[in-house]
Structure 1
Amino acid sequence: MGDYASKSWWLESLPEPIVANAPLAGAQRADVAVIGGGYTGLSTAYHLKRLDPAIDVRVVEADVCGFGASGRNGGFSMTLFGLTKGITRLRFDDQRARAAHRYMEAAVDGLHELITENRIDCDYERSGYLLVGTSPAQVRRVEHDFRIIEKWGAKGIERWERQRLAEEFHTDYYRIGWFEPRCGILQPAKLARGMKALAEKLGAQIYENSPVTGFSKNAGGGYIVKTPAGELRSEYLVLATNAYSVLFPQLRALQRPVFTHIVMSEPLSASRMESIGWHCRAGVEDARDLIHYYRLTRDNRIVMGGGDVSLTYGADLDRDLNEKTFAHLERHVTEVFPQLRGIRFTHRWGGPVSVTLDMAPVIGFLGADRKAIFSLGCIGHGVSLTHYNGLTIAELIAGRRTWRTGMFFVGRKVLPWPSDPVTHGAVHVIRGFMKLEDRIYYK
């Protein structure tokens, strides 16, 4: 087992040390094999067992459940589908962008119900999500999404003007706010471990410390998943690997991993908390290209992430640390809240994000029989999306036709990334342009 506790404060601060499940060993059979023990895989297993308790579903996880992005993200349950509403509408069309927003509202509400009804201890707060504009260009971007929402007649979103923001946050940094009360924040590693316990309670079997070395389709039907110590044969295969899909040739070109980074402060004293306000405790994002996202923990630490990304080459997944980005994030805390100068930062970490070429999520299929299903492209906004995608995938396998299984991004064509050298050069150019645009235009 890897040193999971070093991967994030979320994993380090779990109430009990993780004792890993036994790895996959020998020749095994199941109805459904799930590769990946993060949110997507665990949600798929949980919902499959709810839909059909007799189904034999097995999850194969390379390390421990929650080791990847599910245990390192910012912990935002939010309605973003990919990037902004405007970008989604431009990539698809107005009708599909509206449908995506409805799907994500249902995803956020569904995760709320999942956590509260099952009493998952994950420091969940339904404190809302706040998108802020901090410059004239950012204000125009937020206003554009407001116009889209108004055209759709969507409810449940509040407009916060500059005075309201200053009163709430005791800073003059914000110029406009988009507030969604239905959204929330949570402790992501606790959620992952809680989902593991729920799936196992219903009878799903989970193997940890079982890195998949390959998978293939059997000549007579079904699939075989191989690990160093065993193999698992199944009728259905779910590839719940998101950014780690780069490790598998069948999925490698469909997405690329980039790394986002996070810093965390010491717990704020009562006087420091009073100085910044933040009584709503909402998770906050700004409207830059390379966004900042930040929130409070239960013990009032500030978690600040984003600002830049680290790029990878090929199957390289060792980009957790970026000292330059960490320093930028620490400076940004006091840029937003000058009254916190001198605050101490205690933790720094990073994790991978799955990015499709068109910056939009997908649930797709390998093969015409639609029995190998993958989920990719959360674009850093996957906490609620991945849980809901797990339900959608479970419905597909169980043969349930619902409005979710008919969504436009289920089975959509995915534009492949070009070869590694071309992709590497192109994404460096794109990242450089975004950084320049943020510095000059969206600052």
Structure 2
Amino acid sequence: MTRPAAGRPCWTTPGQDPAAPPGAEQAPPPRVSGVLDADVTVVGAGLAGLSTAYHLADRDPSLDIVVVDAEGPAAGASGRGTGLLGPRVGPPVDRAVRRFGPDVARRMYLASVDAVERTVELCARVGVTGTVRTGEQVVATRTADGLAALARQSAAYRDLGLDVPVLSAADIRDRTDVPYHAGLSYRAATLDPAALTGALARACAAKGVRFLGNSPLLALRPDSSGAGTCLAFPGGTVRTGKAVLAVNAAAGNLGLPVGTVLPLLVHAVATEPLPEEVRRALGGGAGCALIDAHPLAPYFRTTPDGRLVLGGGRPLLAPVPDDSGAVQVWAWLEERLRRLHPALAEAEVTHRWSGRIGMTTDGLPVVGPLRGHRDVWYVGGCCGHGLAMSVAHGAHVARALTEGVRDRLPWHRSRAPRAPLPGPARPLLGAALHLMERGAATAV
């Protein structure tokens, strides 16, 4: 595959009709047309939106639920991730202890562990099996600063009574033939994110959920009857009793009062299928994914068909004027891939792609009712760690809408901190991200 201007990930094709069975001839779902009515409308057919719809239909089969997407299921970030399913939400555990206290920090971590377990269970329930691999996620370092950071985190886990083993350089070498000084080991999994999203969409359709696509949300307003909300789309309107806006970083363009959720483009590459001995040397045999402790340094995993997927590098603040920035990051990632292991020196890179994430300034998602709009919820801002947490957020919102029961964790809130980004400030953010990327280059 030649270097594309805009690449497609090495997962299943997104955006198709969820009502069609796997392998059948598929077409995009129909558009919103005219005036439609629903009990609950979910905007966004990614993991957060589909998890919400799935759990709502499971809790109350009588509900008339509509899912509307600007394109189709898995067409956005949920179909373009790297498939790392690990326990991560919010800041590192030692910072969480300082910000929220030990009790809340412990609950935060355990909630993320539970989210991983429930996502694996959900995969089995909706028929995603062949691409799911349970194993280990190792957060490792090669720098003195990284060693100090991991030591602080390890001490915090120990003080909280949480079992997160410390790995020596030899321990890591037993798992993957790439040299690191030390690491922390988490129970985790990897999967094809687009396969999960597509299977979840089909499971929703089997429960009677209606799907509409190619319909970006334009605006929302209270219904003239005083009950419910009107959602405006290019081809029509949906009048709904309750709404869930699982639109992530599109919140800014819609003017939603959820604080600042920055739209960042992150990048990944994937190789051709590698020989068995190379896969094993890179953690494939043990089901090990490795994440460098530096925020922008590369992280990698193998896939069931033997590819190496590697992500990281400098995010780009969207929208971007052209693809030149992405091409530079892909080249940076490919250079780091070659340096991971001698066996990768000649491996062909067959896929290069980008995906948009929602980043908040305090590192926490936003999952809560929208201020000023009765019975409208927003879900987004997982800061690049949304695979497990998006599923958990959907279950939380479904429970809140059907039972009125809400958990109390730091990301269950209606807005993130506000950080205005006028035109002159955008280059400053870009410069900061570039400096972080330079720091990542010294870590590998």
TM over 0.5: yes
**Residue type at the aligned position of 1:260:** V
* Alpha-carbon distance in 2 for matches of 1:363, 1:371: 13
The correspondence for 1:418, drawn from 417, 420, 426, is 420
Displacement of 1:275: 4.9
> What is the aligned partner in structure 2 of residue 205 from structure 1?
210
Alignment check: 8 A CA contact 1:35 1:41 kept: yes
**Residue type at the aligned position of 1:419:** L
Identity %: 25
Whether 2:238 is the aligned partner of 1:228: answer no
Cα deviations by residue, 1:16-46 (Å, 9 ceiling, x for unpaired): 6642122222211111111100001100000
Displacement of 1:254: 2.5
Task: After superposing the two structures, state which structure 1 stretch, 49-58 or 284-293, moved more.
Answer: 284-293
Alignment check: 8 A CA contact 1:320 1:350 kept: no
Equivalent runs, 1:34-45 vs 2, <5 Å: 34-45=42-53
Q: Secondary structure at the match of 2:135?
A: coil
Q: Could you tell me the TM-score, scaled by structure 1's length?
A: 0.90
Q: Secondary structure at the match of 1:129?
A: strand
Alignment check: 8 A CA contact 2:139 2:293 kept: yes
Equivalent runs, 1:21-420 vs 2, <5 Å: 21-121=29-129, 123-155=131-163, 157-171=164-178, 173-181=179-187, 183-219=188-224, 220-251=226-257, 253-276=259-282, 278-313=284-319, 322-367=326-371, 371-401=375-405, 405-411=407-413, 413-420=415-422
Over 3 Å counting, the alpha-carbon distance change for 1:87 and 1:317 in structure 2 is farther
Alignment check: 8 A CA contact 2:231 2:237 kept: yes
Alignment check: 8 A CA contact 1:86 1:148 kept: yes
Q: Could you tell me the TM-score, scaled by structure 2's length?
A: 0.90
Alignment check: 8 A CA contact 2:176 2:288 kept: no
Over 3 Å counting, the alpha-carbon distance change for 1:102 and 1:256 in structure 2 is same
Over 3 Å counting, the alpha-carbon distance change for 1:167 and 1:15 in structure 2 is farther
Over 3 Å counting, the alpha-carbon distance change for 1:275 and 1:388 in structure 2 is closer
Over 3 Å counting, the alpha-carbon distance change for 1:338 and 1:251 in structure 2 is farther
Alignment check: 8 A CA contact 1:35 1:239 kept: yes
Alignment check: 8 A CA contact 1:31 1:236 kept: yes
* Alpha-carbon distance in 1 for matches of 2:274, 2:342: 14
Please list every run of 5 or more consecutive structure 1 residues that lacks an aligned counterpart in the other structure: none
* Alpha-carbon distance in 2 for matches of 1:233, 1:138: 52
Over 3 Å counting, the alpha-carbon distance change for 1:90 and 1:336 in structure 2 is farther
> What is the aligned partner in structure 1 of residue 18 from structure 2?
none
Displacement of 1:52: 0.8
Cα deviations by residue, 1:58-108 (Å, 9 ceiling, x for unpaired): 110111100000000011111110342234344444332222111111111
Cα deviations by residue, 1:112-157 (Å, 9 ceiling, x for unpaired): 11112332246111122111112222122122111111011013x3
Alignment check: 8 A CA contact 2:258 2:414 kept: no
* Alpha-carbon distance in 2 for matches of 1:321, 1:69: 18
Task: After superposing the two structures, state which structure 1 stretch, 354-363 or 244-253, moved more.
Answer: 244-253
Displacement of 1:413: 4.6
